[in-house]
Amino acid sequence: MHASVLDFNDGTTADVFLTSDSNVSIIPGFNASQRALSRITDQILEGFREGDLSVGRGSKRDFDDYFSEG
């Protein structure tokens, strides 16, 4: 499952993926605010009435990583 989420309070966007039977991944959009991401996670945790929050592994990206030669 994939859902695109827009926070109308500050314009934050995020993609939400069900990545396994027991994991939901939230990928923040460009300039996503921590407050909006907290609201998204709060809604998910409240909806499922269970869960733990963990921070994923970030990776250092270079500008050229977003473009391919071709």
- Per-position b or e across 12-26, b if 16+ CB within 10 A of its CB: bebebeeeeeeebeb
Read off the pLDDT of residues 6-40 as tens digits, 9 standing for 90 and up.
Answer: 989 888 999 989 888 888 888 888 888 989 988 88
Residue 20 has φ and ψ, to the nearest 5°, of: -165, -175
17 within domain boundaries? yes
61 within domain boundaries? no
Number of domains in the chain: 1
27 within domain boundaries? yes
Residue 69 has φ and ψ, to the nearest 5°, of: -85, 140
57 within domain boundaries? no
Environment class of 54 (CB within 10 Å of its CB; exposed 0-12, middle 13-18, buried 19+): exposed
Q: How far apart are CA 52 and CA 54, in angstroms?
A: 7
8 within domain boundaries? yes
Residue 21 confidence (pLDDT): 82
pTM value?
Answer: 0.66
53 within domain boundaries? no
Structural domain of residue 37, as residue ranges?
A: 1-47
